[in-house]
């Protein structure tokens, strides 16, 4: 009964906040507490930062269980490729259960203005389904950038839903949000990440993360989010064209959320 009650509270909270709050996509992203938009090493660029979609043929898979509730899961599939000499990313993410679900389909692309400065564009389709209440949809537009300042420092920025989209059946707005990110690598085997996230009608949220190479092909991840004081840890196993990733987000009140990801570079 307690788990069902927590599930209902989570669903109602999501619906009350115009839905489609950015949950984070990819086990690396979860292990870094959603920081890392300025990292060249984070997967699911279609969702995390479209400016980093570079056309390298890759497939990403991701599964996350929220708070140990078997009814509340998140899955995602992402592919990046080159079509007509243009880098593209196509991803689909679903969050929820049979009572309440959010599905996001994103098409992303990027252009390189010079070897250090990239611009990204995404078109995001949002589909909401609530049992016995019907469906709704909307389309959002996001813009992003990435700049390699030098060998150690990279900066990035994203604005999501810049067109202020509204759900079709209720005229309820999907929140506009922005992120500023910094990546600093004092040594090749260490990356320090800092992101500032702002959603309209909410205060700034700060996210920090670190990626440490502990052995050849093995990275340790750790992160912290200040808005709910949650911590995260994760591991990345990289072998040739394959990568397996695992992370856990530790909530201060609810149960931990576990995530696993798989990447294949074609």
DSSP state of 52: G
E strand residue ranges, the chain: 58-65, 73-83, 86-96, 100-114, 117-130, 134-148, 153-160, 177-187, 190-199, 205-215, 218-225, 230-239, 242-250, 257-265
- Domain assignments of the chain as residue spans, ordered by start: 2-265
Candidates 169, 102, 98; CA nearest to 131 is 98
DSSP state of 254: S
pLDDT tens, per residue, the chain with 266 residues: 444 444 444 444 444 344 566 678 999 999 999 999 999 988 899 999 999 999 999 999 999 998 888 878 999 999 999 999 999 999 999 998 878 889 999 999 999 988 899 999 999 999 988 887 778 899 999 999 999 999 999 999 999 999 999 887 666 788 899 999 999 999 999 999 999 999 887 889 999 999 999 999 999 999 999 988 899 999 999 998 999 999 999 998 889 999 999 999 98
Q: Domain 2-265 falls in which CATH fold?
A: Porin (2.40.160)
pTM greater than 0.85 (yes/no): yes
């Amino acid at each position: 009964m307690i788990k069902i009650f927590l599930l209902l509270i989570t669903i109602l909270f999501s619906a009350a906040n115009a839905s489609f709050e950015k949950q984070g996509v990819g086990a690396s992203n979860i292990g870094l507490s959603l920081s890392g938009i300025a990292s060249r090493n984070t997967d699911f660029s279609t969702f995390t930062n479209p400016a980093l979609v570079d056309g390298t043929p890759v497939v990403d898979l991701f599964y996350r269980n929220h708070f140990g509730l078997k009814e509340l899961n998140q899955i995602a599939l992402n592919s990046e490729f080159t079509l007509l000499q243009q880098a593209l990313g196509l991803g689909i993410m679903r969050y929820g259960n049979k009572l309440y679900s959010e599905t996001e389909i994103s098409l992303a692309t990027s252009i390189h203005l010079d070897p250090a400065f990239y611009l990204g564009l995404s078109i995001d389709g949002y589909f909401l389904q609530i049992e016995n209440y019907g469906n709704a949809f909307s389309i959002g537009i996001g813009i992003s950038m990435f700049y390699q300042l030098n060998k150690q420092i990279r900066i990035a920025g994203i604005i999501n839903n810049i067109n202020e989209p509204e759900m079709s059946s209720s005229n309820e707005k999907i929140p506009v949000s922005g992120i500023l990110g910094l990546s600093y690598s004092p040594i090749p085997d260490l990356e320090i990440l800092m992101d500032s996230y702002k959603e309209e009608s909410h205060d700034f949220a700060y996210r920090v993360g670190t990626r440490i190479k502990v052995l050849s092909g093995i990275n340790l991840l750790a992160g912290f989010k200040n808005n709910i004081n949650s911590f995260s840890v994760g591991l990345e196993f990289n072998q040739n064209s394959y990568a397996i990733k695992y992370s856990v987000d530790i909530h201060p009140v609810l149960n931990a959320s576990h995530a696993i990801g798989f990447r294949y570079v074609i």
